[in-house]
Amino acid sequence: MAGHSHWASIKHKKGASDVKKGKAFSKIARMITVAARKSGGDPDMNPRLQLAIDKARAVNMPKENIERAIQKGTGDGAGEAELHECLYEGYGSQGVALLVEILTDNKNRTAPEIRKIFDRYGGNLGDVGCVSWMFEKKGLIIVNAGNLDEDELMMLVLDKGAEDMQRVGDSFQITCSQTDLAIIKKALEAKNIKVESADISWLPKTNIDLDETAGRKILKLMDALEEHDDVQNVYSNFNLPQSILAEMQSAK
């Protein structure tokens, strides 16, 4: 069973600040374009596109921006540079593993820039396959625990195909196969349970518990990577000490 790391619950809460920085719209637009290019512009027939559109709506991305991104992917964006998908792998402090999903129009530019970020924050960009074996690609749904009954929620999601559910902080993390993600998400929404995020994610098989010094260091590396325009997602396998989690909770 894949591990449930703090980072999976933390990263979806960063959306508001990313919108303020003007980065969320451009990154999600790229995501929509690539999804439409690979499997067509109909979200009903393209689950990956539907997930990208859901992300766009979650950050209040205008409808015309979504439609424009789909058009680029389906061939109506003449003259647009081709986007390449890459997965970079590396290490942070104390052997923390990092997977970085990239969408770039110039791999020769992006690779050295990502390597420089790793170096600057005490990490190392590694070779293909150096850490991906520590992760599994799964569907991940996060809902706020709130007043939800844990037993009832677990019965609902297991009945729809979920593989596991655990409470991490103030959220429930529900893991499933990639193909069952949309089914479980719809079942939750049918019960008026607000889904905070639903995505295909690289989930760690095991986690590394960090002390406060290492935790702050790895967060700086993660933030720097996510600031890069070509970075779509960053995944890792660390757990933070309660002192840092409390700070992040109070700062929301």
Assess whether the region 84-126+206-250 and the region 134-204 belong to the same CATH fold.
yes
Specify the DSSP element, H or E, that contains 197. Answer: strand 195-204
Q: What is the DSSP letter of 135?
A: E
Q: What is the mean pLDDT of the chain?
A: 88
Q: What is the CATH architecture of 134-204?
A: 2-Layer Sandwich (3.30)
* Strand pairing report for 238-239 and 208-209: parallel
Q: Quick one: which of 141, 150, 129 has its CA closest to 177?
A: 141
Are residues 101 and 201 in contact, defined by beta-carbon separation less than 8 angstroms?
no
Average pLDDT over residues 89-113: 94
- At residue 246, the pLDDT reads 77
Taking the model in full, what pTM does it have? Answer: 0.87
Q: What is the CATH architecture of 84-126+206-250?
A: 2-Layer Sandwich (3.30)
- At residue 16, the pLDDT reads 47
Residue type present at position 59: V
Distance between CA 2 and CA 206 in Å, rounded? 7
Average pLDDT over residues 87-115: 95
Q: What residue ranges do the domains of the chain occupy?
A: 13-76, 84-126+206-250, 134-204
Are residues 206 and 3 in contact, defined by beta-carbon separation less than 8 angstroms?
yes
CATH fold group of domain 13-76: Arc Repressor Mutant, subunit A (1.10.10)
- At residue 114, the pLDDT reads 97
